[in-house]
Amino acid sequence: MNGVALTVDVAAIAGEEPRSILLVERGNEPFAGSWALPGGFVEPGERVREAAARELAEETGVRAAGLELLGVYDTPGRDPRGPTVSIVYVMRSDGEPAAAGGDDAREARWHPLDALPALAFDHAAIVADAVSFAAGARRRTASGRDAGAAA
């Protein structure tokens, strides 16, 4: 790969108090057979939020709703194929929408947060950030503060 590749990932988290996350079993290298967040490469002319929704739907059959920007992940070496920057979104859901593996995902399944499998790439760190983000948003809402309000 020449240059830096742009990718997206979606951390779909179920439960008002985060309890599970949607993962896909990768069908292709690198990390074939490993679990990861749904995601993939941004196509030319595509906006990153649209790419995140597309990848979520293609790999899991789940329709994206209420995507919230989590962050940018760009640690050198995070992808063995070459330099990659990932824009990551969080999608919170009360329940666990039905999911099925599609496209390059062998399987899609909700996993309890207290029993996660080993994750590909740097997705364990991303999941930890996403769970903290979702739990923090819940606390802000419960306290009556808007997520964007100044402290």
Peptide bond into 30 cis (omega under 30): yes
Whether 55 sits among the annotated catalytic residues: the reply is: no
Contact 20, 96 (CB under 8 A): yes
Question: Which residue in 58, 68, 96, 107 is the catalytic one?
Answer: 107
User: In terms of DSSP bridges, do strands 20-26 and 35-36 run parallel, antiparallel, or are they unpaired?
Assistant: antiparallel
Q: How far apart are CA 50 and CA 8, in angstroms?
A: 10
Question: Annotated catalytic sites, by residue?
Answer: 107
